[in-house]
Amino acid sequence: MPRIEGKLIIDNAIQEWRNKKNFTQQDLADAVDVTRATILALEKGSYNPSLELAFRLAKFFKTDIEEIFFVTGAHRE
In Å, how far are 10, 45, 67 from 40, measured between CA atoms? 16, 9, 19
Domain count, the chain: 1
* Cα distance between residue 7 and residue 11, in whole Å: 13
Residue that wins the pLDDT comparison between 71 and 38? 38
Helix, strand or coil, per DSSP, at residue 45: coil
Is a pLDDT exceeding 70 seen at residue 76? no
CATH of the domain at 22: 1.10.260.40
- Residue 24 identity (one-letter amino acid): T
CB 54 within 8 Å of CB 65: yes
Residue 2 is assigned to a structural domain of this protein: no
- pTM exceeds cut of 0.75: yes
CB 70 within 8 Å of CB 9: no
pLDDT tens digits for range 32-67: 999 999 999 999 999 999 999 999 999 999 999 999
Residue 55 is assigned to a structural domain of this protein: yes
What share of the chain in percent tops pLDDT 90? 78
Residue 23 is assigned to a structural domain of this protein: yes
